[in-house]
Structure 1
Amino acid sequence: METDKSKNLIQLLLGKSQEAFIIGIEIYNKPTIRYRVEGFSFFICNAWELMLKAYLIKTKGEKSIYYAKDEKRTITLSNCIEQIFTNKNDPLRMNLERIIELRNTSTHFITEEYEQIYVPFFQSCVLNYCDKMLTFFDVDVTDKIPANFLTLSIKVSSIEPKEIQARYPKLIAEQLLETLTHINNSVPEEGNEKYAILIKHDIYLTKKKEIASASVAISKDADQAAFIFKNVKDWQQTCPHRRKKCIELINKEIKKNNINFINPTKDPSDDKYHTFNTSHFDLIVKFYNMKSNKEYCYIYDRGTTPQFTYSNSAIEFIFSEIKKDLENIIRNLKKQIKKS
């Protein structure tokens, strides 16, 4: 049971945790700071440790954050993770363990290439932190830092083994390449957003101007092929969310804003918060033709089954439409689609 003392301690830990989190984000997103990978890994681990200790105090009491045989010393971040995320295969736990490894490595030696290797884990870690602050303490981090700042500034370039071996001493080069191989093998092909957000840059030619992120001009008289790129856009950042993630974020907004979305297939008296589901999402996307709007949707179309990813603007638009008519939006859209 929480006492006034433990409540004050929890608030103190949460305040410091959010400060560490914001400092980590600011360090990473400043292009002039060369120490940003090391700095980020240090501060994000500190943010998690303070937040998880606050959660242990909340759920198990103040003594839970101290070693049983030495009550003057508090437990480590790894100890907190083991107590709270007990499943070793939990993607969130695995993500944190990867970043702890990096933090420990960076105290000895680190190379610029670690940024390319670890940035998918960093981005997942940022989003996981925001999610757990909201779940554990009903604290919305975006009240202190705008949501668009949660997207990390990414420096992406290929890592060539020959260049690594030429640039670094043998032992360091082998360790870096071994780390890269190990991490690449650990990430599922389809990714897992709680473990690592995959960053893919696929270049292919298309005659569909409306979905192209770059335009090219080719000279027939040139000895070699030449391309002129204009209006290059990073669709991985502008439309990062798959449908499942969009639905998850919309449901969080419904709950956070304390609104009663009505699912017409259920009795309104059954639940206070009805779940916004896949059929609701597809209905709204279809009615407003969102897949044809580049502001909302990006289409991966390579001659096979198209894949769609959505922007934060798409999520905001859908949520705003839900708020306009909580009880009838789904029913009304179905009627209007049938008429058309």
Structure 2
Amino acid sequence: MLLKAILIDKNESIYYKNKQDRTISLIDAVKNIYRDRHTRIRLNLEKIIELRNISTHFITEEYEVKYAPLFQACVLNYTNELEKYQNRDITKYISQDFLTLSTRYEPLSNEQIKMKYPAEIAQKFIQQSNEIDVLNKEYDSDKFSINIAQRLYITRKKKNADFTVRIEKNSENSVAIVKDIKDPSDTHKYSYNNVIMAVNERLNKQNIKLQYKSGFNQYVLNMIIDFYDIKSNPKYSYEHVIGKQHSYTYSQQFVEFVVTEIKKDPQHFVESLKKSIKPR
């Protein structure tokens, strides 16, 4: 409703041209207001709309802990946009306390998700969860998500501590650090499209211009995957098999590898790949 009000104030129609009795959808309103598809507010809304669209088909209970940071950012984005476009302070109508969301749901591990749900649903949830993690990291903006985390650190300076703990040196129970088995759902979180997004984000942040008219896109990524045989390298790629369906996800190390290779020679990187790959 706020977006439609903004469009009306701008003397823009909120009705479809071919259906004058029907107002535009939320996603169309978002695109009309935030025309830059990289705007963090737009990206935030698009992910929330995506959740709304799949909520009737897939689980939503476990999504809460993942999407809460997006919802919190969305609430604050709303208050800021309301004041910006309508000159209204929502805290005059709603207490500030009610603008802060909270979640008490204990998140399930990927292994618990796989045990609780059928393979197809579990895989869908894990992919969505991983995508949120990736986007939070790459966008790094409080307009996209607001994360609240509690981290504990051990210090020997008691005056700097919020609370104290005791270590029993005479305990008969010895411990040792062991190397745990890594779940590819945790180590290879990047989907194919997220790799493209992440590489572009990092190149932009480092002001690196890839000399290719279309920029870093599917064509360039496919050449990299083929030339370096990425799908055969477990460090960079993992193949998910559910029934007859095969899909790949990629690690953060792969994203870093791509950016590092481009940085070596951004002007000739694509042309060098083209010359190096033998025609099939």
Instruction: Using structure 2 for the length normalisation, give the TM-score.
Output: 0.58
Does the Cα contact within 8 Å between 1:65 and 1:75 map onto a contact in 2? yes
Task: Map residues 297-312 of structure 1 onto 2, 5 A cutoff.
Answer: none
SS of match in other structure, 1:73: strand
Aligned residue type for 2:70: F
Aligned residue type for 1:114: Y
User: 1:103 offset after TM fit, Å?
Assistant: 0.9
User: Could you list the per-position Cα deviations for residues 203-257 of structure 1 after superposition, in whole angstroms to 9, with x for gaps in the alignment?
Assistant: 22113344434321333443349xxxxxxxxxxxxxxxxxxxxxxxxxxxxxxxx
Task: Map residues 166-205 of structure 1 onto 2, 5 A cutoff.
Answer: 166-188=115-137, 191-205=140-154
Task: Map residues 153-164 of structure 1 onto 2, 5 A cutoff.
Answer: 153-155=102-104, 157-164=106-113
Aligned residue type for 1:54: A
User: 1:53 offset after TM fit, Å?
Assistant: 0.6
Q: Distance in 1 between matches of 2:155 and 2:138?
A: 25
Aligned residue type for 2:43: M
User: Could you list the per-position Cα deviations for residues 235-282 of structure 1 after superposition, in whole angstroms to 9, with x for gaps in the alignment?
Assistant: xxxxxxxxxxxxxxxxxxxxxxxxxxxxxxxxxxxxxxxxxxxxxxxx
- Residue of structure 2 equivalent to 1:81: 30
Query: Are the structure 2 counterparts of residues 108 and 149 from structure 1 closer, same or farther at C-alpha, using a change threshold of 3 Å?
Result: same
Aligned residue type for 1:116: V
Query: Are the structure 2 counterparts of residues 189 and 166 from structure 1 closer, same or farther at C-alpha, using a change threshold of 3 Å?
Result: same
- Residue of structure 2 equivalent to 1:56: 7
Q: Distance in 1 between matches of 2:32 and 2:112?
A: 42
User: 1:112 offset after TM fit, Å?
Assistant: 2.1
User: 1:187 offset after TM fit, Å?
Assistant: 1.8
Does the Cα contact within 8 Å between 2:4 and 2:29 map onto a contact in 1? yes
User: 1:156 offset after TM fit, Å?
Assistant: 5.7
User: 1:147 offset after TM fit, Å?
Assistant: 1.3
User: 1:77 offset after TM fit, Å?
Assistant: 0.5
Does the Cα contact within 8 Å between 2:14 and 2:23 map onto a contact in 1? yes
From 134, 140, 154, the counterpart of 2:83: 134
Query: Are the structure 2 counterparts of residues 217 and 56 from structure 1 closer, same or farther at C-alpha, using a change threshold of 3 Å?
Result: same
Does the Cα contact within 8 Å between 1:191 and 1:198 map onto a contact in 2? no
User: 1:190 offset after TM fit, Å?
Assistant: 7.8
Does the Cα contact within 8 Å between 2:62 and 2:107 map onto a contact in 1? no
User: 1:104 offset after TM fit, Å?
Assistant: 1.1
User: 1:124 offset after TM fit, Å?
Assistant: 0.4
User: 1:107 offset after TM fit, Å?
Assistant: 2.5
Of 125-134 and 215-224, deviating more is 215-224
Task: Map residues 101-112 of structure 1 onto 2, 5 A cutoff.
Answer: 101-112=50-61
Query: Are the structure 2 counterparts of residues 195 and 204 from structure 1 closer, same or farther at C-alpha, using a change threshold of 3 Å?
Result: same
Q: Distance in 2 between matches of 1:212 and 1:154?
A: 26
Structure 2, unaligned runs of 5 or more? 175-280
Query: Are the structure 2 counterparts of residues 219 and 179 from structure 1 closer, same or farther at C-alpha, using a change threshold of 3 Å?
Result: same
Task: Map residues 1-340 of structure 1 onto 2, 5 A cutoff.
Answer: 50-61=1-12, 64-155=13-104, 157-188=106-137, 191-224=140-173
Aligned residue type for 1:143: K
Does the Cα contact within 8 Å between 1:191 and 1:197 map onto a contact in 2? no
Q: Distance in 1 between matches of 2:139 and 2:21?
A: 45
User: Could you list the per-position Cα deviations for residues 78-107 of structure 1 after superposition, in whole angstroms to 9, with x for gaps in the alignment?
Assistant: 110111100000000000000001111112
Structure 1, unaligned runs of 5 or more? 1-49, 226-340
SS of match in other structure, 2:153: coil
Q: Which has the higher contact order (CA 8 A, sep 6+)?
A: 2
Q: Distance in 1 between matches of 2:158 and 2:101?
A: 29
- Residue of structure 2 equivalent to 1:272: none
Taking every aligned residue pair, what percent have the same amino acid on both sides? 40
SS of match in other structure, 1:71: strand
Of 198-207 and 118-127, deviating more is 198-207
Aligned residue type for 1:83: N
Query: Are the structure 2 counterparts of residues 111 and 81 from structure 1 closer, same or farther at C-alpha, using a change threshold of 3 Å?
Result: closer
Q: Distance in 1 between matches of 2:108 and 2:134?
A: 15
User: 1:150 offset after TM fit, Å?
Assistant: 1.3
SS of match in other structure, 1:188: helix
Query: Are the structure 2 counterparts of residues 207 and 146 from structure 1 closer, same or farther at C-alpha, using a change threshold of 3 Å?
Result: farther
